[in-house]
Structure 1
Amino acid sequence: MRVLHLVPKFIPSIGGVENFVHELVNVQRKKIEVEIFTSNILNFENFQKLRIMNDFPYVKRFNAFNLFPFLPRGLGVFSFSMLRELIRREDIDIIHSHSYGYFTTYLGSFKKYLKKSKHVIQTHSDPGRRKLTKMIFDSIVPIFSLYGDKIIAISELEKNYLKSLGIEEKKIIKIPLGINLNLFRRYQKYKINDNFLLFVGRFDIDQK
């Protein structure tokens, strides 16, 4: 079995989706063939691009462009070279698209439309705040969900929200995000036996 993950951007780009996919693929590669298609963009704030393109043997980075710069947070980014390679590939059994509203979901849906692969969509999202861009994407999500075999929600709240958008309940499966517990084994990592408090996070203006 060969699984292809479609991710808007990937490590060394900083973000929860990037870390999650990295950890997931490290586990999957022990049992199955796995690849990642992603863009060459380091961040969506200033669209800085990576100079190193072949840093992971299972990752293929494609040149991407901001076709709709008026959309926030890189939602207007698209990669024609990724689309071309995705159409060409005939050896993919399952496509796993990541990130709600980004071009990777559209590409995975298009490949499913061509009846070439099974398609799993993972939104990595929650209902969020009712901004105009959010409302626009909410209106087209049910259309693209038609070309998803399964939609992964990360919480019961998100599952109910996706249902409210018109997505069939039988397509939605709730799988909370996992973590690598080895990163938090305090003795092995820090040689600390006493209680301690660790904060891990980053500031994001669009997250609560």
Structure 2
Amino acid sequence: MNAEWRWDFTYEILPKMLWATLNTIMAAGIGYAIAVVVGLIFLIGQRTPYRVINILVREIVEFIRSTPLLIQLFFLYFVGPQFGIILSAWVTAMITIGLHFGTYLSEVYRGALEGVPKSQWEACRALNFTTLYTYRRIVLPQAFPIAIPGMGNYLVGIFKDTPLLSTIGVAELFHAATSVGGEHYRYLEPYTMVGIIFLILSIPAAMGIRKLERSVNKAQGKAKN
């Protein structure tokens, strides 16, 4: 009987699942916003005039990228208190997601900057433009369209990795489904709803990113003409 779909049970748990969906969206959004800023910090740290700082930041980035997100969550949440670092599950989740995906976004930014022709940099130096002006008015407008696909992919990636947050007690979608299933001894409806909700949110997000990419490229093409 447990293998049969029950619509009455589905309607009963729907409010709880929708509330958990809001938590999931919030977790992904805040985590991504932190990752965007952290990625910029890591990028700047690897482009300073000081070789020691460049190497140190590079090693930190490689270390974070080379370890699983789940291990980082567990270490900060369960091991951190032994060193006096006591954080709530939500704060731990946001910091970990921000740091983890910030390293990947820093590589996206680096690749985008390297995608700008060297002649653009040389022309700016020849015209005696300041570094800030060069980045703000010349380089970044050309690098941004290159970075959009990678940034969009990691936004979707963060969203799909939010179920890992349930391992430290964050009340996101997967955590809610597990809780409901354990309480009622029915997992068919809650886990199916999780998959459907992720599809409903992920597909439009991916389509929106592609639309943004086309719009930016189109606007850039008009500017060149």
* Same fold, judged at TM 0.5 (above): no
TM-score, length of structure 1 as denominator length: 0.28
Q: Which has the higher contact order (CA 8 A, sep 6+)?
A: 2
Larger Rg: 2
Q: Is the strand fraction higher in 1 or 2?
A: 1
Q: Is the helix fraction higher in 1 or 2?
A: 2
